[in-house]
Structure 1
């Protein structure tokens, strides 16, 4: 008999997942508070209220009314009771981006499907299901499907004008109002899906971080841009849509790795993904994991990407995603921002203006001397998170006041250089020293006496240059188009040739005549043209 009792106890004991749920401070308390549901009485009352006594039958001996009740009907009642009990315990359940979340007292936490299934199964058992009935696989699926069907739509639809900025920290929620942040208690209505691991302390400082940043990124405006980018992660896209992402660029021991680790510590590693541009471009399952995240920060760019998809993600536009074993769905209104570290800048972007417009390239070109390198620095800086966050708060305020990032000469110069390098035609013109002898907007035909070069000859020289440098050359048609932006081009000339009115100095210091412009002027003109294009 003792053996039989042991077997019975084993059969009725909790699974490891059930033990985990009971130990959860919020979920365990909700499950414990689930009352027993008199399923048959509830259905009888429903039938009488709706005038459906035809679904009832009477016990001839006792006169009591009875009805048949299915598992599916029990699932409906359990779903309603579970949500009501959660609300009574200052919690709730919602389906956000296709995933079940619960309010854990500080923020909306995602529940894995296996945890959600066992949680609802335990609620059903507490409500009156037999243990074997509640834990049977098909019944668990029915319970979960019913619960998701009931609460798949968020009840809060915030208007753009009502969007507020809230930052969830360990000791409360920072709320931005009238140019200032104030700390208050957690509220589920904020719809926040994260909590930072440190306290808000307005008096905290970060002397070690300041010293480090002054060394690796000396320009103060560039430092401000970095802090603003971190702060941008907390601003809803519909509140401030800047459509910008950041690339930390530089080779060697320059501090990028420390920034990478530090940003993840500030935002919380569980709230940061690390996918490359290549993965985000072509994998719908990867994109789905951006849901509910503050930032995607990759330590590398990866291989070839799809610029159109990257532009959509950076802009916060609707994108198609897919979760494993589920249908494709559209991810909307996500707030995830994007940062990347790279030793070399992408080369496949060939004068893509819309692509340029979305990037803040922050150069880290100070090599940290061996005697100054500290492998324990990231751990030391963790002690200054509250102080570092105060610099982030200042960055948020600047973004909201200016509705743009701080102007940085370093950032602007780096981006302009990148524009030139990514346009191989412009890069070749600048490197080889070609200059215009006639303004490119000229409309009068010129004679052969004016210095000129045949277009085909220029293209041959350009292709040879690209091969020598290991660069990808553009097509003849694209080359023609870009040359016309830099120089006056005349078709139908002698032997039906196409002439380009440009020349190369025989010596470096040959003066340029008054009716011509220097190569630099045309480079600047071309860049301005790029910036004006949409």
Structure 2
């Protein structure tokens, strides 16, 4: 029988029968079996169904009869697959020979035209030392082509009389070489290599058509290197032989005739490539192709974002293409009313919708769908809208609700929030995802098997730089040691890590770089992963839950005082993140999560807190923004003062690839050495700590200490309250005031408490105005000799390892 008749007969065979002939167990009552392509305990592979296919809900693979035999039996030659069906089911096809085909017009017994035959026929000669030419082999290796591929393709060298040395590619029509194309090794003034046909005639041919396999995915490309690379990686690939002007519909019809599961367009990642891909896709649709059409962008012969060095270091190019080109069978027509006599069966309809959405999952009531590296949240209304469109005029609220309810509880699609633990230790970039350790950054291709919700919108390019951003750091921070700290912090914010348990205090009066630096960090991390909750908002319903999944929260606070905002609770719950917290969602059950967000407090003034403990203040790193930038359009600029650049942010956005590399270097440095806090930042934090302790300030400004002095506790506290009100400080309670006096000065200056007939007193301290003149002179003489009483509080109490590493 002919090949067409063979496949018609094959489609009539239930795939369950083929499965049994392959040694598979009989399906259970749900039509499921244990998948042969991964280890599992519970059957997850569906045999049969409306499309008569093998589909595993766990690993996502979908195979027809032909591919199932090919994969299970590990058969590489099509003729062997035909032989298998002939032995098992008596089907006799007309398979093509394994290697060669007769050229048109050839006599019986005559072989295909060889490259040497073609060279003789076209009176064309070339050099045979291509494999020994380092420049030429380096060019081909840059396209990802291996030595054995170059040998099998029959490439050669040619000395062009005007263009110099170049590589020659045999251009086949079917199997026979019909022309030779030349690509120069040298470039012209525009940086391009010359590319022309130097022997024979190509016409409108598309080479590789003889390699098409019924039911397999087909890759369409333009260019010999891409075509050879795809063939090298085991892909079914065809290529236009000349420019777009010669591309016709007959070649596309030949592709559609083999009914590919999907067509992948592999074009250059530029405007011309985008237009060519769009035109090809439109032509395919116009010819009636209804399967998946996908696109892969290419840069100079390789998939965009893939480093050719990796192709030889880890041999992961095939894996990379597999992950980018997932083969899914596209249903030509979806009918949700597929019961008897067109009736509605909710369970069957739910399975049909889920089959059409292979990367859709439900995480504890919220829908997510994979696309371009991450799982995007999908609104429930959008899911209902999809179902309504599939139902057409027969859609009703009851039908839609029944389907959605069954989809939501489907055992293969319902997930717990724990699946997002895949995000730990990974950074998702726009073109790949990265893992990291103490010494290096590792690159991986996107895949739906690694579940992540957020990514930086920046492509990873290890060669990118950021000179304008580095200049900006010099302008904002003349103190160079701060640059390393900011670099580590940028890298830290890209991760899920919270082990360092510190928050940043960016302090400056305004127009000093805090805003632009925070905007750059937001653009780098990705706006979806950045929160903007202020401390005062953390007690409001439903707002705490918005920090779930965030790796950064930038809180802009106009004032540095935190007494009213309970910042100590923020530190305990969100900065230290020692335990999970509960969050509410509207119309959903509360849930617990462990905060992952790093906090930046952007303050116009110093941070003040009533908590003077070491545990509290070691939770911060203070960065002073001391340089003020002036706007020459609205204010007078002092001589030599820096001026604002209104185009600065848009300029630096073009350097995000380089900033990403810079931040990743900082992350490696952080993981290896910890935060390196410069002296200027440690001094600034100590000043905040001292300035925020209203009791110490009161004693320093209004009191004297001497063993002979006595003061009424209530009277001294009254003066303390007046002092705080007058100076705008936080007022502590009487108990807290007394405790701080004894804790700070009890041991060092022998201050204690006592009781008299008039009430409780302090011994060893009193207001300056209450001290006798002679005694006051003696006290002041001692102070001049020994220094002020609070100066000997060691700053290293706030830091570990003597303040060098946080």
CA distance in 2, matches of 1:385, 1:105: 19
CA distance in 1, matches of 2:374, 2:420: 17
Deviation at 1:257, TM superposition (A): 1.2
Q: 1:153 to 1:472 in 2, by over 3 A?
A: same
| Candidates 150, 169, 173, aligned match of 2:429 | 169
Q: 1:284 to 1:78 in 2, by over 3 A?
A: farther
C-alpha contact (below 8 Å) 1:79/1:146 kept by paired residues: yes
Q: How does 1:300-319 map to 2 (within 5 A)?
A: 300=557, 304-307=564-567, 308-309=569-570, 311-316=572-577, 317-319=579-581
CA distance in 2, matches of 1:33, 1:428: 81
Q: Larger deviation: 297-306 or 287-296?
A: 297-306
Deviation at 1:120, TM superposition (A): 4.1
Partner of 2:97: none
Partner of 1:406: 676
- Secondary structure of residue in 2 paired with 1:117: helix
CA distance in 2, matches of 1:500, 1:245: 40
- Secondary structure of residue in 1 paired with 2:741: helix
Deviation at 1:419, TM superposition (A): 2.0
Deviation at 1:393, TM superposition (A): 0.6
CA distance in 1, matches of 2:558, 2:590: 26
Deviation at 1:346, TM superposition (A): 4.8
Q: 1:427 to 1:145 in 2, by over 3 A?
A: farther
| Candidates 385, 390, 407, aligned match of 2:661 | 390
CA distance in 1, matches of 2:651, 2:668: 27
| Candidates 632, 638, 647, aligned match of 1:376 | 647
| Candidates 253, 262, 275, aligned match of 2:511 | 253
CA distance in 2, matches of 1:111, 1:359: 37
Deviation at 1:451, TM superposition (A): 4.3
CA distance in 2, matches of 1:36, 1:381: 51
CA distance in 2, matches of 1:97, 1:421: 48
CA distance in 1, matches of 2:332, 2:444: 28
Q: 1:184 to 1:296 in 2, by over 3 A?
A: same
C-alpha contact (below 8 Å) 2:752/2:762 kept by paired residues: yes
Q: 1:272 to 1:526 in 2, by over 3 A?
A: closer
Greater per-residue strand proportion:
2
Partner of 2:781: 510
CA distance in 2, matches of 1:40, 1:155: 35
Partner of 1:99: 366
CA distance in 2, matches of 1:178, 1:482: 43
CA distance in 2, matches of 1:35, 1:306: 57
Partner of 1:362: 623
- Runs (5+) with no aligned partner, structure 1: 1-21, 42-65, 439-449
Q: 1:227 to 1:430 in 2, by over 3 A?
A: farther
Q: 1:282 to 1:409 in 2, by over 3 A?
A: same
CA distance in 1, matches of 2:608, 2:329: 55
Q: 1:221 to 1:460 in 2, by over 3 A?
A: same
Q: 1:472 to 1:102 in 2, by over 3 A?
A: same
Q: What is the CA deviation profile of residues 396-423 of structure 1, one whole-angstrom value per residue up to 9, with x for unaligned ones?
A: 1122223x42222222222222222222
CA distance in 2, matches of 1:383, 1:259: 15
Instruction: Tell me whether 1:110 sits opposite 2:377 in the alignment.
Output: yes
CA distance in 2, matches of 1:283, 1:37: 44
Computing the radius of gyration from Cα coordinates, the structure with the larger value is 2
Deviation at 1:329, TM superposition (A): 1.4
| Candidates 490, 495, 499, aligned match of 1:235 | 495
- When the two structures are superposed, what TM-score results if normalisation uses the length of structure 1? 0.73
CA distance in 2, matches of 1:220, 1:387: 19
CA distance in 2, matches of 1:273, 1:528: 28
- Secondary structure of residue in 1 paired with 2:664: helix
Partner of 1:78: 349
Q: What is the CA deviation profile of residues 251-271 of structure 1, one whole-angstrom value per residue up to 9, with x for unaligned ones?
A: 021111111221121122233
Q: 1:98 to 1:31 in 2, by over 3 A?
A: farther
| Candidates 470, 477, 482, aligned match of 2:728 | 470
CA distance in 2, matches of 1:478, 1:142: 61
C-alpha contact (below 8 Å) 2:754/2:763 kept by paired residues: no
Instruction: Tell me whether 1:484 sits opposite 2:742 in the alignment.
Output: yes
| Candidates 597, 602, 619, aligned match of 1:341 | 602
C-alpha contact (below 8 Å) 2:504/2:599 kept by paired residues: yes
Q: What is the CA deviation profile of residues 137-171 of structure 1, one whole-angstrom value per residue up to 9, with x for unaligned ones?
A: 33333333332222332497588xx9852222222
Partner of 1:45: none
Deviation at 1:474, TM superposition (A): 1.1
Tell me: higher relative CO, structure 1 or 2? Use CA pairs within 8 A at least 6 residues apart: 1
Instruction: Tell me whether 1:459 sits opposite 2:459 in the alignment.
Output: no
Q: How does 1:202-351 map to 2 (within 5 A)?
A: 202-237=462-497, 240-279=498-537, 281-300=538-557, 304-307=564-567, 308-309=569-570, 311-316=572-577, 317-324=579-586, 326-347=587-608, 349-351=610-612
- Runs (5+) with no aligned partner, structure 2: 1-291, 296-324, 631-636, 769-775, 802-806
Q: What is the CA deviation profile of residues 63-84 of structure 1, one whole-angstrom value per residue up to 9, with x for unaligned ones?
A: xxx9x98x6xx33333334444
C-alpha contact (below 8 Å) 1:250/1:363 kept by paired residues: yes
Deviation at 1:328, TM superposition (A): 3.8
Q: 1:306 to 1:284 in 2, by over 3 A?
A: farther
Partner of 1:51: none
Q: How does 1:429-448 map to 2 (within 5 A)?
A: 429-432=699-702, 434=704, 437=706
Instruction: Tell me whether 1:145 sits opposite 2:405 in the alignment.
Output: yes
Q: What is the CA deviation profile of residues 247-296 of structure 1, one whole-angstrom value per residue up to 9, with x for unaligned ones?
A: 211102111111122112112223323222212x1223222222333322
Q: How does 1:48-67 map to 2 (within 5 A)?
A: none
CA distance in 1, matches of 2:742, 2:376: 56
Q: 1:332 to 1:479 in 2, by over 3 A?
A: same
Greater per-residue helix proportion:
1
Q: What is the CA deviation profile of residues 107-159 of structure 1, one whole-angstrom value per residue up to 9, with x for unaligned ones?
A: 1111122222223444xx2xxxx42343x233333333332222332497588
CA distance in 2, matches of 1:24, 1:454: 83
CA RMSD of aligned residues (A): 3.8
- When the two structures are superposed, what TM-score results if normalisation uses the length of structure 2? 0.50
Partner of 2:316: none
Q: 1:340 to 1:116 in 2, by over 3 A?
A: farther
Deviation at 1:509, TM superposition (A): 7.2
Partner of 1:422: 692
